[in-house]
A and B are shown apart, each in its own frame.
Chain A
Amino acid sequence: MTARAAEPSPAALADEAVREILRTQWAGEPAVRLDSPPGAGKTRVVEYLAVQALARLGERCMVVTQTNEQAFDVGRRLAQGFPNLPFALFIRKDLVAPEDVTALPNLQLARADGDLPAGPCVVIANAWKWSWVVDGHVAPFDCQVIDEAYQLPDYRFHQIAGLATRVVLVGDPGQIAPVVTCEIERWKCDPTGPHVACPRALIERHAGVRRLTLPVSRRLVSDTVDFIQPAFYPELPFTALSAQGERGLRVRVGGAMPVDAAIDLAARGASLVEVELPGLITGEVDEQLADTVVTLIVRLLQRRAEVYDGDTERPIEAGMIGVVCAHVSQVNAIRERLPLELADVLVETADRFQGLERPVMLVHHPLSGRADASVFHLDAGRLCVMASRHRVVCFLVSRAGIEDLLLRYAPSGDRVLGLDEDAEFNGWHAHLTVARRLRERERVVRLARMTA
């Protein structure tokens, strides 16, 4: 009788997926699209590709980010992670770089085409900066690695695609689509339109482009994956790296305040918990909800909550907590309530939280307090980003009535001819899936009244 081979562990699966991606560069694949669920280590893959190109393939590698901040972050990670290798950060002439970045000895700052290294190198810049490279001023690159590729609209990719022989697009297909601020009526029906996220447009034009996926999320625990994957990634199956129970929340001090029930639920292993205030139409700014968010944060600290991850335990500090909202006004409402000692809590909009993570997250639910569900608030990408930033626990704070709102909802029906995608319905469906699952798994803690 032959023994059945053991199923590979999530870590092994993750590593093998990374090996496969790295091998594509040895094979000289002209283009690879790498789809990654949240927290799968996209940026780490970007680092690996860059380092392999430089140190193993002797190639010139250009790394493309979407923002300056992301460029700083990648530069930091490469320089600190590989202190014996040189890297270059290509930025605008008058841009002030953070001091910790400029202090890195193996990270050169290049501000003009002529400053870029000749020969094998890794150069990191945002897409805008790359689009200003003058032909002939810079030697062609062998490999172009685009981080957060689903945030890059195709017309911007068009401007830089010719700078390298091979391209790897690394991104999360479930996140917020590229923001384009103008009318796009003449391209709406075109699946390869200039406004379309470049990985999608590339596959439309060249269906044979190699598609790979990262099958494991390092960030999300399996409990969260159970919510996120069916709602937002039905075509992209993935699992959690951490084993059940390996990561979680502990509290040292008991509590009897209404919000404590949510903390206790989290301490029992729930990684997604909804904290529900009594129903009320509030519009964008909900003062009571903002109070509840702050109360929840304060209680976590008062109860000496800590997060454990394998063998390590850390008491929760302000810097380990993030709050994400749909609107700037909501962000401000929470910020103005945070006491001085909680200044390190990162409070931001979903757009700004893309690419970031915290052990503990609180979410101002995008549909909370609304009379109608609009396309903006139903956007699946927005809720996906909000509900996938946490490593340990996420508290979704909302007003009661979200499920009813979803069931009452009639799609506005703004369809685009000939395109299969119905983003509004997909978003509606994702929201309802999450809402129902939270209810079915008894993850909803109902507060009878305001807690502050």
Chain B
Amino acid sequence: MAGELDLVARLLAYEGGRAVSIATHRLMAIRPDALVLCPLAMAGEDTTVHIVAVGAIGRPPEIYCVADPRVRDEQYELFAWLGARIERHFETCRRAGEYPQIWVSSGAVADHLDTLADRQRYNRENAAVKRFGELLSYQTERYPVDGQQALITATGALRMHWATGQQPGEDEHLGTLLAWIEPPRNTNILDAVALAERVPMGVKTDPEFDRDVLEPRVAAYNQARRGGARAVELRQRAGLIQQALEPVVRSIYDGTQRAIRILSRMGLPELPALRNLEERERDEFESFMASRDAGYHLPLVDKPRPAAFKLTAREDAADNFEAAVLCGDGVGRARARLAGHTVYGQVENPRRTRLSPHRFRYRFDLVSRQRVLRVRRRDELASLGDPRLRVTVANVHREGAVTRISAIITHGQQAVGLPASGTTLELAKTVPDWDRLIRTRKQLRQRLVATPWTHDEQGTAPAVTRARRPPRDPLAEVEALR
């Protein structure tokens, strides 16, 4: 659920008739070698691409169109063509020790690519198409992971940095989002948005367009093909189809490129954690490619063991990304402060108590005026200013609008030291831990080396091996031990 800060941002956008910035840092990487990929599917045909525009950032697209994607061989040619481009991109990235990044216009496109990948990586008829599906699976498997840099939607990227004065669902239309961010002059914003909304920016063309323009041309092509028309005629008819579709896909491509330009030119520094996120992406890509080289297949349905690994990795990513934005972005920090995810206040009463000749306890109080706080006794917090300083909350006492948190320093007594009275300190439960996943995976590998019967779908519960005669009243026997 969006918080109060995002609500205020939308109010400001509504008031001003233009989107307002909601980030102080760029929250995702824009790789200069990224591919911009804009496919259009045929309506009702969930694993097709009728026309695709693909190109590098800032470059015009290459376009490939098939007359009728329901004709398998033609469709496979498009996939093989696109797959070759993706393969080249992957190879270049791999050689450079980098990772491939693909930009699409919106979530609908990402979902469509996911459907394609899930389907085509099992293709038994065409090795090139199968490879295309496999490679695309890298992007689509990474997409649901928070903080991933492999598959970026323009709408998602813009929404991380801008709040509009419309509903969150409407932000998924790239055209309306761009209208809010760069509203056309001399036009009421709502009129501009209504106009922008009519231009397809996802993965499908308008039903009206299909009815009036595309379907007649595709039908004519098919009729000619079935009637044994000559190649010249077929090419001409195919050309008419491309003529109809190309402006649509170019518009989406241009919109996506425009989004990338806007993000690049925001002039915002990168989120400090981006280098860690990209490092993670490189590792994931290398691991993915090594698995493909070794011939491991990507399952549609996970058995318990891989599911445990994947869910753990996703949770780790979600925690780390949230912590990274909280720590590294000014608006992220403000959001967290308002929602009580950080404790922010003034230090009072710092003191050192001797516990034994060589052991001391360092304590201080933090006095906060935050309206909403989520801190509880025995919570473990880290300083956002210097995460080496970690504390355990000994007590939380609220009186009216003021909360006094008593904290015991558990780490950083020497490295950071006891904060001085009057210092402003901000503490949070989570700070990013980029090595946690490595440790966790290592532990999971160890813990899950054998499948317990509880998680063995083929197995049965073990037979009872040690049945013993119970006492007449086992409850009384236990109670007697009190």
In the complex, A touching B (Cβ < 8 A): yes
Binding site for B on A (CB under 8 A): 15, 18-19, 22-23, 26-31, 48, 51-52, 55-57, 68-69, 81-82, 84-85, 94, 96, 98, 131-135, 153-155, 157-162, 165, 167, 180-187, 190, 192-195, 202, 205-206, 208-209, 328-329, 332, 335-336, 338, 340, 343, 352, 376
Besides A28-B465, A182-B144, A340-B399, 11 more A-B contacts (Cβ < 8 Å) are A30-B461, A30-B464, A56-B474, A56-B478, A57-B468, A82-B482, A84-B481, A155-B307, A182-B311, A192-B457, A206-B453
Q: How many angstroms between the C-alpha atoms of A338 and B400 in the bound complex?
A: 7
The one of A18, A28, A96 that contacts B392, using a Cβ cutoff of 8 Å: A96
Tell whether B408 is near chain A: CB-to-CB under 8 Å: yes
Q: Residues of B contacting A155 with CB < 8 Å?
A: 304, 307-308, 311-312
Q: Would A181 and B470 be within 8 Å (CB), given that A48-B478, A206-B461 are in contact?
A: no
The one of A133, A205, A376 that contacts B455, using a Cβ cutoff of 8 Å: A205
The one of A22, A96, A131, A332 that contacts B378, using a Cβ cutoff of 8 Å: A96
Tell whether B286 is near chain A: CB-to-CB under 8 Å: no
Can you show 17 pairs from A to B with CB atoms below 8 A apart?
Answer: A18-B475, A22-B478, A28-B464, A48-B475, A51-B481, A56-B477, A81-B482, A96-B408, A134-B446, A135-B447, A194-B304, A205-B457, A206-B461, A328-B374, A332-B372, A336-B371, A340-B399
The one of B378, B451, B475 that contacts A69, using a Cβ cutoff of 8 Å: B378
Q: Would A332 and B373 be within 8 Å (CB), given that A183-B144, A194-B304 are in contact?
A: yes
Q: How many angstroms between the C-alpha atoms of A268 and B279 in the bound complex?
A: 66
Contact B460 A206 (CB under 8 A): yes
The one of B308, B397, B464 that contacts A194, using a Cβ cutoff of 8 Å: B308
Q: Would A329 and B446 be within 8 Å (CB), given that A55-B481, A158-B308 are in contact?
A: no
Q: Residues of A contacting B469 with CB < 8 Å?
A: 26
The one of A28, A81, A185, A335 that contacts B468, using a Cβ cutoff of 8 Å: A28
Tell whether B318 is near chain A: CB-to-CB under 8 Å: yes
Q: How many angstroms between the C-alpha atoms of A167 and B408 in the bound complex?
A: 38
Q: How many angstroms between the C-alpha atoms of A85 and B482 in the bound complex?
A: 9
Contact B371 A28 (CB under 8 A): no
Q: How many angstroms between the C-alpha atoms of A81 and B482 in the bound complex?
A: 6
Contact B475 A22 (CB under 8 A): yes
What's the least CB distance linking A380 to chain B, in Å?
19
Q: Would A19 and B475 be within 8 Å (CB), given that A30-B462, A155-B308, A205-B454 are in contact?
A: yes
Total of A-B residue pairs, C-beta within 8 Å: 170
List the 3 shortest-distance A-B pairs measured between CB atoms, nearest first. Answer: A26-B470, A182-B314, A162-B452
What's the least CB distance linking A324 to chain B, in Å?
14
What's the least CB distance linking A194 to chain B, in Å?
4
Q: How many angstroms between the C-alpha atoms of A67 and B471 in the bound complex?
A: 34
Q: Residues of A contacting B373 with CB < 8 Å?
A: 328, 332
Tell whether B319 is near chain A: CB-to-CB under 8 Å: yes
Q: How many angstroms between the C-alpha atoms of A160 and B144 in the bound complex?
A: 27
Find the A residue at minimum CB distance from B472.
Answer: A19
Binding site for A on B (CB under 8 A): 1, 144-146, 301-302, 304-305, 307-308, 310-312, 314-315, 317-319, 339-340, 371-374, 376, 378, 392, 397-401, 408, 410-411, 443-444, 446-457, 460-462, 464-471, 473-475, 477-478, 481-482
Contact A336 B311 (CB under 8 A): no
What's the least CB distance linking B236 to chain A, in Å?
44
Find the B residue at minimum CB distance from A80.
Answer: B482
Contact B457 A329 (CB under 8 A): no
Q: Residues of A contacting B466 with CB < 8 Å?
A: 28
The one of A23, A55, A162, A186 that contacts B470, using a Cβ cutoff of 8 Å: A23
Q: How many angstroms between the C-alpha atoms of A420 and B470 in the bound complex?
A: 39
What's the least CB distance linking A96 to chain B, in Å?
5
What's the least CB distance linking A237 to chain B, in Å?
22
Find the B residue at minimum CB distance from A209.
Answer: B461
What's the least CB distance linking A204 to chain B, in Å?
9
Contact B304 A154 (CB under 8 A): yes
Q: Residues of A contacting B314 with CB < 8 Å?
A: 182-183
Q: How many angstroms between the C-alpha atoms of A180 and B313 in the bound complex?
A: 12
What's the least CB distance linking A334 to chain B, in Å?
10
Q: Residues of B contacting A187 with CB < 8 Å?
A: 302, 307, 311
Q: Residues of B contacting A182 with CB < 8 Å?
A: 144-146, 311, 314-315, 317-318
Find the A residue at minimum CB distance from B392.
Answer: A96
Q: Residues of A contacting B446 with CB < 8 Å?
A: 134-135
Contact B304 A332 (CB under 8 A): no
What's the least CB distance linking A428 to chain B, in Å?
19
Q: How many angstroms between the C-alpha atoms of A343 and B399 in the bound complex?
A: 8
Contact A185 B311 (CB under 8 A): no
Contact A167 B454 (CB under 8 A): yes
Q: How many angstroms between the C-alpha atoms of A22 and B145 in the bound complex?
A: 44
Q: Residues of B contacting A332 with CB < 8 Å?
A: 340, 371-373, 398
Q: Residues of B contacting A329 with CB < 8 Å?
A: 340, 371-372
What's the least CB distance linking B387 to chain A, in Å?
15
Q: How many angstroms between the C-alpha atoms of A101 and B469 in the bound complex?
A: 36
Q: Residues of B contacting A165 with CB < 8 Å?
A: 462
Contact A82 B481 (CB under 8 A): yes
Contact A26 B378 (CB under 8 A): no
Contact B448 A158 (CB under 8 A): yes
Q: Residues of A contacting B308 with CB < 8 Å?
A: 155, 158-159, 194
Q: Residues of B contacting A56 with CB < 8 Å?
A: 471, 474, 477-478
Q: Would A202 and B467 be within 8 Å (CB), given that A194-B307, A194-B308, A332-B372 are in contact?
A: no
Contact B467 A194 (CB under 8 A): no
Best-buried of A30, A55, A84, A208 by chain B (most CB within 10 Å): A30
Find the B residue at minimum CB distance from A183.
Answer: B144
Contact B468 A181 (CB under 8 A): no
What's the least CB distance linking B143 to chain A, in Å?
9
Contact A131 B455 (CB under 8 A): no
The one of B144, B449, B455, B477 that contacts A52, using a Cβ cutoff of 8 Å: B477
Contact A23 B371 (CB under 8 A): no
Contact B307 A181 (CB under 8 A): no
The one of A85, A159, A185, A193 that contacts B448, using a Cβ cutoff of 8 Å: A159
Q: Residues of B contacting A208 with CB < 8 Å?
A: 460-461
Contact A193 B307 (CB under 8 A): yes
Contact A158 B304 (CB under 8 A): yes
